[in-house]
A and B are shown apart, each in its own frame.
Chain A
Amino acid sequence: MSEARPRRAASQWAVAWRRFKRNKSGLIGGAIVVFFILVALVGPYLVPYPARSYQSLYEGDAGDPPSFKHPFGVEVSGIDVFSEVVDSTKNDLYVGLAATLITTLIGVAIGALAGYFKGAVSDILLGVTQMFFVIPVLLLILLFARVFSVLVFKGLGLTLIVLILSFFGWSSIAFIVRGETLRLKEMEFVQAARSLGARPFRLLFRHIVPNILSPVIVIATLNIAGFILTEVVVSFLGFGDPNTSTWGLLLNEGFPYVRTTWWVALFPGLAVVFSVLGFNLMGDGLSDALNPRLRE
């Protein structure tokens, strides 16, 4: 008889998804990310020139500005910028996603342990987390990247960078996870589970961890953006892998000749800006969707 629409009981995730859909900038970010993923997966098969190819040199197009044949121009060395930018997409995304995956695992583990247990273990973990948070991480990454890339690890390629980034980049997640664990530990549903005889690790991973997913997802998404930016710096300075196309490597190759071939610096940079922007916008959108702040 009533005309008021009944409230559909909705799961936490359904509500968040609905909220995310309403967030314009979050959707734009998501669209950009999807676009780049598609480029990464399909692009390399569609580009005119294979990766790291100097073919254009033999065609006499070296150093040419953007044209129909070379939409993003050609490097002085004969490398077609457009093909390279597209090829690099999968590599940059690889670094961003892989490093985020590893740091999230490390961060959640360390953060949860630090938050759940009391005493020396927890204090040491907290101290280590704080240390990695405070130090000039990029500087050490650059140092490690340079030093290790000249040694036996040459065969690892970008994976070396991923490992170095992962070693240094887990502290932001660990902090959030520790904070949330501390908060949730005292909540009633945890006390209830404990009163039913659940042992610490079960409590930790079956009850607490699922509830910290929201902030972790947000930070992880933003971390992808950060890791891509870091990779760009590492490769730009020449400390990355010279055999794998990345946007940073392109900037490294283009910079010495930027006065005459400015397109080599512009387009890879734009690719970085938009991919990072995409992840940042998506992260913000997720943050708004997963953390309701409206008073009603």
Chain B
Amino acid sequence: MDEKLLEISNLRTYFFTEAGVVKALDGMSLEVYKGQAVGLVGESGSGKSVTAQSVLRIVPRPGRIVDGSVKFEGEELLTKKEDEMRKLRGRKMAIVFQDPTTSLNPLYTVEKQLTDILMLHKDLSKDDASKQALHLLDRVGIQDPERRLKTYPHELSGGMKQRIAIARALACDPVLLFADEPTTNLDVTIQAQVLELLKQLQRELNMTMVMITHDMGIIADMTERVTVLYAGKVMEVADTQTLFKSPKHPYTEALLKAVPSVKQTRALEVIPGNIPNLIEPPTGCVFHPRCKYAKDVCVKKEPELERVEEGHYAACHFWRELELEGRGG
């Protein structure tokens, strides 16, 4: 079997704010095998980005990892010293952030942002690093890379900025890449290009990718396995095809129904209600206030992640009984 690259178990990351303790991740688990393209899906506020930040241990203040285990290449990351983590960041694991306008430093040229990382991890001279940077720009499909090297981010379009952010993430050939909503802030036409680029790069570099998104369409297009996250907890885990054909959790069903398709004849269903208050989350099943199948036990008892079949797990009291609607393809 392939080896497990990343194994997150029961991760809890809380934010200690003036308003209260925000439980961004509350017992979340994830398994990623080498070479896989895995999806992490959920609405905004479900804890998706915090997962990536937790793995790299760059959760911003006032957030802190309070419990759980994160194993990367077999080693426990949560007990590592800070300078050991720093050697991994950018080198073995990297993140592509959602908004390239804010994730690129506005005061540094493209060249500097790339060479900084190259020189840090690869011990290259400035000239060699510049040459590498040029090569990176080429690889992410940027035309006229020599000129682009000397430009500042504010002089570039959204799509180009994101390509550069991708180049920065891939600078040192990481084995694990988190793509955190990489196309959400881009135009629709550019979105397709960037996704295509990511797919291509993942193939070429045999990179393990975790695609974080709220868009089920992207999940269908880009991933082979997917975890559904809600209010910091895992609702369902399955192979992408299985999840789409036969979802076993009401939240998954609702997410699938919210994606428009050409063949659609009925109205789009919006999931009623808002994401829960993470300071005082609902009792029992976190999803029960918005679940149309909820019963008494859902308010009282938190469901555990139960095995539906090999590789398919769902956290719902009634996954056996419910006949949920999937999507054909």
Residues of A within 8 A of B (CB): 1-5, 7, 22, 294, 296
Contact = CB atoms under 8 A, between A and B. Distances in A.
Contact of A5 (B17, B277, B288): B277
A2 to B, nearest CB: 4
A4 B282 contact: yes
Contacts of B45: 296
Report, nearest first, the 5 A-B pairs whose CB atoms are least far apart: A2-B289, A4-B282, A4-B289, A3-B283, A4-B276
Nearest to A4: B282
A3 B281 CA distance: 9
Given A2-B288, A2-B289, A22 B18 contact: yes
A4 B277 CA distance: 8
Nearest to A294: B17
Contacts of A22: 18-19
B197 interface: no
A4 B283 CA distance: 8
B280 A296 contact: no
B37 to A, nearest CB: 28
A199 to B, nearest CB: 34
A2 B282 contact: yes
A104 to B, nearest CB: 30
Given A294-B17, A296-B45, A3 B299 contact: yes
A116 B63 CA distance: 41
A5 B280 contact: yes
Contacts of A3: 282-283, 299
B136 interface: no
Contacts of A1: 294, 296, 299
Given A22-B18, A296-B17, 14 more contacts: A1-B294, A2-B282, A3-B282, A3-B299, A4-B276, A4-B277, A4-B282, A4-B289, A5-B277, A22-B19, A294-B17, A294-B19, A296-B22, A296-B45
29 contacts: A1-B294, A1-B296, A1-B299, A2-B282, A2-B288, A2-B289, A2-B299, A3-B282, A3-B283, A3-B299, A4-B276, A4-B277, A4-B280, A4-B281, A4-B282, A4-B289, A5-B277, A5-B280, A7-B274, A7-B277, A22-B18, A22-B19, A294-B17, A294-B19, A296-B15, A296-B17, A296-B22, A296-B45, A296-B278
Nearest to B282: A4
Contacts of B15: 296
Interface residues of B, number: 19
Contacts of A5: 277, 280
B288 to A, nearest CB: 6
Contacts of B278: 296
Interface string B290-302: 0000101001000
Nearest to B279: A296
Residue in A3, A4, A7 with the greatest tally of chain B CB atoms within 10 Å:
A4
Nearest to A296: B22
B229 to A, nearest CB: 16
Contacts of B288: 2
Nearest to B290: A2
A19 to B, nearest CB: 9
A5 B283 CA distance: 11
Interface in B113-150: none
Nearest to B24: A296
A1 B292 CA distance: 12
Nearest to B17: A294
A22 B19 CA distance: 9
Contacts of A296: 15, 17, 22, 45, 278
A28 to B, nearest CB: 16
A296 B19 CA distance: 11
Interface in B136-179: none
Interface string B211-250: 0000000000000000000000000000000000000000
Nearest to B60: A295
A1 B281 CA distance: 15
Nearest to A3: B283
Contacts of B282: 2-4
A40 B310 CA distance: 78
B64 to A, nearest CB: 15
Contacts of A2: 282, 288-289, 299
Interface in B70-105: none
Nearest to A1: B299
B211 to A, nearest CB: 22
A1 B276 CA distance: 15
A296 B283 CA distance: 21
